[in-house]
Structure 1
């Protein structure tokens, strides 16, 4: 929010009359500042030290962006039992973050393991941790979150793109994910198709609807270098 307030302040300054007599609107000024901030966007592989920031990002993203599609009770149960960042993805080196000036504003990744979301067995171990066969099975896209201040500016689409290209370099020919109702527009824009609705009932009795989606990968696509600054952004999409 602090970053956004700073950007808004500068946007107002940009909107002030210029010596030439021309001026831009506050909306144009805000858009210009967003575009300038996106020039400083950096993507990289997530680290274990990012976990506290990633947890906070997930909670903020879900509580704000998913509130138009789910009740507060559903959201809190989903954060407890379903939605979050699986450290296994970080350990595997397949989870990525987008940051601006050192602040993580988006995250997402993929898994070569069976689980499509965090599921724990009675011993506390994540279920579905066995490795997938890339020639016969689909890689799992997992845990995509964007900070509300940066929603609808292509961040989610960028993280999906990085993840699918990485999965392709590891030999996977197909992707699968479990989406919330809120995330469907993003994944449709990224070329996924709806397969089925899958309703979940959490241990606390709360029901939560999710949607299985999939996408076939196209060979011979270039992989963006992680750790470099992004010079151009994909067209903004709904998240």
Structure 2
């Protein structure tokens, strides 16, 4: 598939259910090789639902191909988890690609849209809390590993991720 067959549009609150289905399908492929099976099972209901606030932000996007949702992702100036804002720093938010569309350029186009828009909005650094399996993807897009961190999904449910960042032009 070539990149021009993929279209990207701004997500809306009406996209909540189809994006939740896509995110659940995508995150189900995180793999037990990277995550403890029990922790992943406990975290899935918490992380596999689309976030209504992101859907209303205007900075969360849907990639479609042949009329089907192939991926989603966005960015905000608010840090995931606590909403903290630091001038010039933006954050990648809730990226997912449907397993049927892996390695077809979907995530790359979504990421480029996020990087471009964040830079136009005044961001000079983009950060990502990458899953363990997505670290090579972000590294290939110019992100550098900052440090491993644990993300508390809810009390007692913690998943390891990798904090990454890259400069924006």
**TM-score, with length taken from structure 2:** 0.89
Measured against aligned partners, the alpha-carbon deviations of 1:108-151 in whole angstroms (never above 9, x if no partner) come to 100121x32xx4xxxxxxx42x55423xxx10111110011111
Aligned residues: 169
Deviation for aligned residue 1:91: 1.7
- Normalized per residue, the structure richer in strand is 2
Decide whether aligned partners of structure 1 residues 43 and 200 sit closer, same or farther in structure 2, where only a CA change above 3 A counts: closer
- Gaps spanning 5+ residues in structure 1: where? 1-33, 120-126, 219-239
Where does residue 51 of structure 1 map in the other structure?
A: 16
Is residue 2:93 matched to residue 1:93? no
Partners of 1:131 and 1:90 in 2: CA distance:
19
**TM-score, with length taken from structure 1:** 0.64
State the Cα RMSD in Å: 2.0
* Partners of 1:69 and 1:181 within 8 A in 2: yes
Deviates more, 1:178-187 or 1:200-209: 200-209
* Partners of 1:83 and 1:143 within 8 A in 2: no
Is residue 2:72 matched to residue 1:107? yes
Select 2:104's aligned residue among 150, 153, 157: 153
Structure label with greater radius of gyration: 1
Partners of 1:139 and 1:215 in 2: CA distance:
10
Is residue 2:90 matched to residue 1:133? no
Deviation for aligned residue 1:87: 2.1
- Gaps spanning 5+ residues in structure 2: where? none
